[in-house]
Amino acid sequence: MCAPLVMEAVARTLSRRAFLGAGLGLLAGRALAQAEVRGKAFSKAVDLTHELSPEIPLFPGAEPMRITTLVTVRQNGYYGNRLDLWEHSGTHMDAPAHFAEGGLTAEKLPVESLIAPLAVIHIHERAAKDPDAQVNVDDILAYERQHGRLAKGAFVAMHSGWEARWRDPKAFLNQDASGTLHFPGFSPEAAEFLVREREIVGVGVDTLSLDHGPSKDFKAHVILLGAGKYGLENLANLAQVPPAGALLFVGGPKHRGASGGPVRAVAVW
């Protein structure tokens, strides 16, 4: 029971300096009950969001977004555009309802689930050799041996290094002659493990899909979204984030009936 006293003492000491963030511990803290938490102070913010434009990689068959300038400062005194886009464009969320009938749509997710301890699992070395690489249960267990058990309420992101291909849609999709896509993702077994054995809020990838490219049944999607978790796809800058110890903010979509939609995702630590 000494923690609150210490918190108070620090509050007094730091008073007019730097204490606003300290309490996030309580919010994230519940989620972090079993996590290995660093005592290190946060000093960085990294944007995990790619710029959204008509030129970005999209799943085959999806129409690119359109940005139509309606007014300009020079002609109208103010500048503004109309946007027309498929929900699953750019760095975006898959809400449970994207694959699960009756599942939550994005605007209905509890706001607390949009603030989560961020676990980044690196498989970039394997993915450099095998574009169809997957995050497997073994990768999760290896991560936990190094960084502690995944926190209750954690968000688990795959860093495969694929994000480096973002500006080259052909390389990002990596289709073979038969039209099959090749890029990394989560294996169905890993999805099942996260859903059954851990209490995560969601899963993210730096590729086009939670499932790896060759998947035809989108089983990781079905398992994760079917269990009420959300997904984030096309995440950026995961290489700049520590594997453990960062906090993720997901500026998720709030339109009615959202199967998902572009997000602004930021990591702080």
Q: What is the contact mask toward a copy of itself in residues 50 to 79, using x (rule: CB under 8 A)?
A: xxxx---------x-x-x-xx--xx--xxx
- The nearer residue to a copy of itself, 90 or 188, going by C-beta atoms, is 90
Closest by alpha carbon to 67, among 77, 57, 48, 52? 52
Name 248's Cβ contacts closer than 8 Å, sequence gap at least 6: 48, 115, 116, 117, 118, 155, 265, 266, 267
Reported as type and span, the H/E element at residue 137 is helix 137-147
Q: Among 15, 129, 146, 170, which residue interacts with a copy of itself (rule: CB under 8 A)?
A: 15
Handedness of CA 201, 203, 209, 211 (dihedral sign): negative
- The nearer residue to a copy of itself, 78 or 129, going by C-beta atoms, is 78
> Residue 172 has which token pair?
């990002």
Reported as type and span, the H/E element at residue 25 is helix 24-31
Q: Which stretch binds a copy of itself (CB under 8 A): 84-92, 120-128, 155-163, 207-215?
A: 84-92
- CA distances 120 to 147, 214, 265, Å, are 10, 23, 14
Kindly identify the residues of this chain, within the stretch 143-202, that bind a copy of itself according to CB under 8 A.
Answer: 148
Rule CB under 8 A: is residue 33 a binding residue for a copy of itself? yes
Kindly identify the residues of this chain, within the stretch 243-262, that bind a copy of itself according to CB under 8 A.
Answer: 245, 247, 249-262
Q: Which stretch binds a copy of itself (CB under 8 A): 97-105, 121-129, 133-141, 155-163?
A: 97-105
Min dist. Cβ of residue 186 to a copy of itself (A): 17
